[in-house]
């Protein structure tokens, strides 16, 4: 296999894997019992999913500026995701600090 | 006749569905939330229609800033407002529905009966664009061929601000705008407001700078700048300026003044109001764009910040 | 230092193709200068020296933990029994309130199973956890140690 | 049917929907939301016309596009002014419907001197 083919296979693999994590995050949105736990699924799975997609796209970009650009997109998305996740979580926090006691399947 | 692409059909369905949600949902706050999502989908529609300039404006201004304005207003309305619960009777609603369907039907007929081939000013723009030295046809139209519209618009923004401020009660005059003041912001929001604005400034200036030749321009750039300012205000890192602040007022009218000044100079040097002397068109357009971006950003931010309130308002009202 | 970073970000946006005029460069420098000025006014630089070794270790841990976090969530969600035990945990954070604690919050919101929901009156950070059976506090303590070390100071100093 | 026609029809439907909301919602802020829908429907009609006018290598006729950008900015300014009016109305009267009959409750609401 030539270098081009290897990089293409790598891209397809990493991007598909990344999409799988987005899918897992969405599934978490549907299956998890309350908004706080759903936020976990979204922030974590999307971070890894987007990271993998960016990683997969790196070999397709030839210039170093392009690499840094892709990574900057990931970092800015992380900052946004982390901030919004915390803000939503803070807004949803029960006032007495007790855990929302429902749907906790035993591990 | 070809069928529209599935993605277009999906977008149209989504736009209509979200619009229906904005109209039918019971709580005003949720309707405003729906409006934000609606604006974002509409921006995608504009991309499909080949107008990236409009799409950027719609996403930033139509969805982002308008949505923020309506959400904050919805949150400030009294909770026991009778307007939230009363609805007109079924008779009124049926008549309204029939009437509105008729209007929509008439418009749809107009769309289907538009003349063929479509009249277009695109060839005229293409033929004359090189004279302006600008590569983006929309920027060319906004600042050269239809510059009077844009000048009028920049003045409308100033007038809207004057109108907004004139709504303040007498005891509030001289105070600071109050819409964006609130309880102490959460720590993650403060952090975002400390980290993000420099990047927003770069993006805003970039949008202005490339706007001459690519999609982008002063309105889009100004919206990004205004959004950054509003983020800093909402996070409580800075206070909005008093409405009597002279530097701020000067900045708000600066763009219109530069525009009028260059336009008047054109009447003298190039023979017509708002005409640009040969060869100088592009630098002049860029100067106007830069000055307008500053003023529009300030005005958008101040429009969002609302009318002034008395200095003790935040403490007394609770 | 920050100025160079912002000018770099400008170059990312502008994507120089080789045919730039001086005007392009001048606008970029001006924009970077404005951005730097704003940044310095909004976020005053503390008296910290970045320790590159510790920063690299922090980045490595962050990347690794991101993978762990994503896999962890995916595993739990795909498991038909949905093995979670959500709950709250107060973590007595040593970093003083301010941008650095916010950075710590942002960092840990991406770590496996933790999501900060705010502070409590004793100055601790309250976390919502996906699974209270995990060793959460010790993991947070490691994150905190690394962040403090990367910023070149003791946990209490500023 | 081209994409221009599809989104043109979509714009016509939006005008109808927004008009219905404008008539049927008593709350001033809801009327404002509905009015923004009417506005975006009209802009979409412009967009359809612009798309049909694609020529000379442009994706659309730039003149209607520029008009829409101008329109969006003016619409925002008008909305901001209207929102301030609504908030002021709520402060003064404690309600935001535009019913001309004076409500019984408003006697109890303290009126701010202005």
Contact D63 B121 (CB under 8 A): yes
Q: Does D60 touch chain B (CB under 8 A)?
A: yes
- Nearest residue on chain A to B186, alpha-carbon basis: A87
pLDDT single digits (tens) B129-187 = 777 767 787 887 887 777 888 888 888 888 998 888 888 877 777 777 776 666 566 67
Query: Per the domain annotation, does C95 fall within a domain?
Result: yes
The string over B254-280, giving b where at least 16 C-beta atoms fall within 10 Å of a residue's C-beta and e elsewhere, is ebbebbbebbebbeeebeeebbbeeeb
Set of chain B residues whose Cβ sits within 8 Å of the Cβ of C103: 191
Cα gap B237→B225, rounded to integer Å: 16
Task: State whether C78 and C132 are in the same domain.
Answer: yes
Interface residue of C9, C12, C13 to substitute, partner B, most B CBs within 10 Å: C13
Q: What is the mean pLDDT of residues C130-136?
A: 78
Q: Does D44 touch chain B (CB under 8 A)?
A: yes
Question: Does residue B175 or residue B107 have the better pLDDT?
Answer: B107
Query: Per the domain annotation, does C68 fall within a domain?
Result: yes
Res D109 pLDDT > 60: no
pLDDT score at B78: 72
Which of B12, B39, B100 is the closest to D20 by Cβ?
A: B100
Which of A76, A80, A87 is the closest to B186 by Cβ?
A: A87
pLDDT score at B207: 84
Instruction: Note which residues in 167-186 of chain B have CB less than 8 A from chain D.
Output: 167, 169-171, 179
Query: Per the domain annotation, does C47 fall within a domain?
Result: no
Res C154 pLDDT > 60: no
Q: How high is the mean pLDDT of chain D?
A: 80
pLDDT score at D37: 93
**Phi then psi for A43, rounded to 5 degrees?**
-65, -45
Contact B198 C27 (CB under 8 A): no
Task: State whether C131 and C64 are in the same domain.
Answer: yes
| Those residues with Cβ within 8 angstroms of residue A18's Cβ, 6 or more apart along the chain or in another chain | A48, A49, A50, A51, A52, A53, A55, A56
Contact D23 B100 (CB under 8 A): yes
Tracing tokens 């993991």 back to the chain, one arrives at C139
Res B265 pLDDT > 90: no
Q: What is the mean pLDDT of residues A70-75?
A: 83
Set of chain B residues whose Cβ sits within 8 Å of the Cβ of C31: 201-202, 205-206, 209
Closest to B132 measured CA to CA, from B282, B290, B277: B282
Q: Does A49 touch chain C (CB under 8 A)?
A: yes
Instruction: Note which residues in 245-284 of chain B have CB less than 8 A from chain D.
Output: none
Which of B31, B54, B160 is the closest to D78 by Cβ?
A: B160
Contact A98 C117 (CB under 8 A): no
pLDDT score at D56: 66
Helix or strand or coil: residue D114?
coil
Closest to B71 measured CA to CA, from B234, B193, B297: B234
Which of B190, B199, B206 is the closest to C14 by Cβ?
A: B206
With cut-offs at 50, 70 and 90, classify the pLDDT of residue D107: very low
For residue B43, give how far its alpha carbon lies from the nearest alpha carbon of chain A (Å). 20
Query: Per the domain annotation, does C13 fall within a domain?
Result: yes
Query: Per the domain annotation, does C32 fall within a domain?
Result: yes
Name the least confident of B11-15, B87-91, B112-116, C23-27.
C23-27
pLDDT score at B240: 78
- Nearest residue on chain A to C120, alpha-carbon basis: A97
Task: State whether C72 and C28 are in the same domain.
Answer: no
Helix or strand or coil: residue C115?
strand
ipTM over cut 0.95: no
Task: State whether C114 and C67 are in the same domain.
Answer: yes
pLDDT score at C22: 67
Task: State whether C142 and C76 are in the same domain.
Answer: yes
Q: Which two tokens stand for residue A4?
A: 């081009």
For residue B206, give how far its alpha carbon lies from the nearest alpha carbon of chain A (Å). 15
Question: Does residue B146 or residue C22 have the better pLDDT?
Answer: B146
Q: How many domains does chain C have?
A: 2
Q: Which domains does chain D have, with CATH numbers?
A: 3-99 (1.10.287.3510)
Task: State whether C18 and C61 are in the same domain.
Answer: no
Task: State whether C37 and C78 are in the same domain.
Answer: no
Set of chain B residues whose Cβ sits within 8 Å of the Cβ of D96: 77-78, 81, 83
CA-CA-CA-CA torsion sign (A100, A102, A106, A107)? negative
Res D54 pLDDT > 50: yes
Query: Per the domain annotation, does C92 fall within a domain?
Result: yes
For residue D4, give how far its alpha carbon lies from the nearest alpha carbon of chain B (Å). 7
Which helix (H) or strand (E) segment is C44 a member of? none
DSSP letters along D40-85, please? Answer: HHHHHHHHHHHHHT--TT-SS-HHHHHHHHHHHHHHHHHHHHHHHH
Name the least confident of A7-11, B2-6, B101-105, C40-44.
B2-6
Q: Do chains D and A touch (3 or more CB pairs under 8 A)?
A: no
Res B206 pLDDT > 80: yes
Question: Does residue A42 or residue D78 have the better pLDDT?
Answer: D78
Residue C110 sits in which domain range? Answer: 52-150
Task: State whether C88 and C113 are in the same domain.
Answer: yes
Most confident of B100-104, C68-72, C117-121: B100-104
Query: Per the domain annotation, does C131 fall within a domain?
Result: yes
Cα gap B216→B57, rounded to integer Å: 9
Contact D20 B22 (CB under 8 A): no
Q: Which two tokens stand for residue C47?
A: 């008296």
CB B65 within 8 A of CB B304: yes
Q: How high is the mean pLDDT of chain C?
A: 76
Domain regions of chain B by residue span: 1-76, 87-116, 127-318
pLDDT single digits (tens) A2-58 = 777 888 888 888 888 888 888 888 888 888 778 788 888 888 888 888 888 888 888
Contact B188 A86 (CB under 8 A): yes
Res C156 pLDDT > 50: no
Res D15 pLDDT > 90: yes
DSSP letters along chain B, please? Answer: --PPPHHHHHHHHHHHHHHHHHHH-S-HHHHHHHHHHHHHHHHHHHHHTT-HHHHHHIIIIIIIIHHHHHHHHHHHS-TT-GGGT----HHHHHHHHHHHHHHHHHHHHHHHT--SSPP-SHHHHHHHHHHHT-S-HHHHIIIIITHHHHHHHHHHHHHHHHHHHTTS-GGGTTSEE-TT--SPPPHHHHHHHHHHHHHHHHHHHHHHHHTTTSS--HHHHHHHHHHHHHHHHHTTSSPPPPTT-HHHHHHHHHHHHHHHHHHHHHHHHTSSTT---TT-HHHHHHHHHHHHHHHHHHHHHHHHH-SEE-TTHHHH--
CB B177 within 8 A of CB B240: yes
Closest to D64 measured CA to CA, from B60, B50, B274: B50
Interface residue of C18, C67, C69, C70 to substitute, partner A, most A CBs within 10 Å: C70
Helix or strand or coil: residue A34?
coil
- Count Cβ–Cβ pairs < 8 Å, chain A vs chain C: 128
Res B318 pLDDT > 60: no
With cut-offs at 50, 70 and 90, classify the pLDDT of residue B244: confident
Task: State whether C117 and C145 are in the same domain.
Answer: yes
């Amino acid at each position: 296999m030539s270098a081009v083919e290897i990089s293409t296979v790598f891209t397809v693999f990493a991007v598909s894997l990344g999409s799988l994590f987005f899918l897992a995050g969405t599934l978490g949105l549907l299956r998890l019992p309350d908004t706080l736990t759903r936020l976990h699924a979204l922030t974590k799975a999307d971070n890894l999913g987007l990271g993998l997609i960016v990683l997969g796209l790196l070999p397709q970009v030839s210039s170093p500026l392009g690499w840094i650009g892709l990574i900057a997109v990931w970092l800015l998305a992380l900052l946004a995701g982390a901030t919004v996740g915390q803000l939503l979580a803070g807004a949803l926090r029960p006032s007495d600090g007790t855990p929302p006691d429902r749907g906790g399947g035993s591990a | 006749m070809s069928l529209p692409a599935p993605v277009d059909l999906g977008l149209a369905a989504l736009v209509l569905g979200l619009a229906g949600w904005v109209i039918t949902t019971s709580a005003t706050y949720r309707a405003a939330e729906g409006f934000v999502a609606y604006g974002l989908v509409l921006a995608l529609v504009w991309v499909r229609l080949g107008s990236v300039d409009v799409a950027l404006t719609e996403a930033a201004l139509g969805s982002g800033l308008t949505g923020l304005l309506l959400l904050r207003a919805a949150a400030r309305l009294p909770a026991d407002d009778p307007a939230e619960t009363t609805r007109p009777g079924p008779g009124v609603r049926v008549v309204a529905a029939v009437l509105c369907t008729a209007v929509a039907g008439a418009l749809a007929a107009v769309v289907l009966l538009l003349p063929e081939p479509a009249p277009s000013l695109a060839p005229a723009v293409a033929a004359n664009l090189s004279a302006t030295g600008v590569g983006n046809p929309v920027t060319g139209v906004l600042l050269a061929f239809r510059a009077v519209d844009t000048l009028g618009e920049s003045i409308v923004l100033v007038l809207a601000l004057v109108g907004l401020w004139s709504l303040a009660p007498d005891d509030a005059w001289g105070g600071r705008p109050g819409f964006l003041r609130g309880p102490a912001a959460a720590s993650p929001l403060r952090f975002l407001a400390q980290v993000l604005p420099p990047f927003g400034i770069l993006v805003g200036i970039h949008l202005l700078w490339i706007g001459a030749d690519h999609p982008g321009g002063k309105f889009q750039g100004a919206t990004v700048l205004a959004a950054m300012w509003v983020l800093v205000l909402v996070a409580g890192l800075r206070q909005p300026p008093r409405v009597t602040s002279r530097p701020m007022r000067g900045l708000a009218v600066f763009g219109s003044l530069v525009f009028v000044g260059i336009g008047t100079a054109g009447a003298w040097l190039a023979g017509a109001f708002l005409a640009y002397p040969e060869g100088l068109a592009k630098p002049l357009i860029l100067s106007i764009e830069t000055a307008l971006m500053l003023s529009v950003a300030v005005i958008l931010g101040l429009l969002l910040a609302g009318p002034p309130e008395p200095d003790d308002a935040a403490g007394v009202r609770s | 230092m920050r100025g160079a970073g912002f000018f770099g970000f400008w170059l990312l946006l502008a994507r120089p193709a080789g045919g730039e005029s001086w005007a392009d460069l001048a606008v970029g420098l001006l924009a970077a200068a404005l951005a730097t000025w704003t940044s310095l006014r909004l976020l005053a630089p503390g008296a910290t020296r970045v320790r590159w070794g510790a920063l690299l270790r922090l980045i490595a841990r962050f990347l690794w933990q991101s993978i762990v976090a994503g896999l962890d969530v995916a595993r739990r969600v795909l498991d038909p029994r949905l093995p979670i035990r959500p709950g709250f945990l107060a973590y007595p954070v040593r970093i003083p309130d301010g941008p650095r604690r916010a950075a710590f919050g942002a960092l840990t919101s991406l770590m496996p199973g933790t999501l900060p929901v705010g502070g409590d009156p004793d100055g601790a950070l309250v976390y919502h956890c996906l699974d209270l059976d995990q060793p959460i506090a010790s993991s947070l303590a490691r994150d905190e140690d690394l962040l403090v070390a990367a910023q070149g100071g003791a946990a209490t100093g500023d | 049917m081209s994409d221009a026609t599809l989104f043109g029809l979509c714009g016509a439907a939006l005008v109808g929907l927004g008009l219905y909301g404008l008539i049927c919602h008593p709350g001033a802020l809801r009327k404002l939301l509905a009015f923004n829908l009417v506005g975006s429907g009209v802009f979409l009609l412009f967009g359809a016309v612009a798309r049909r006018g694609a020529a000379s290598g442009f994706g659309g006729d730039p003149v209607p596009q520029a008009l829409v950008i101008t329109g969006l900015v003016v619409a925002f300014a008008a909305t901001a002014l209207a929102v301030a009016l609504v908030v002021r109305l709520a402060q003064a009267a404690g309600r935001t419907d535009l019913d001309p009959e004076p409500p019984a409750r408003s006697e109890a609401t303290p009126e701010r001197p202005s």
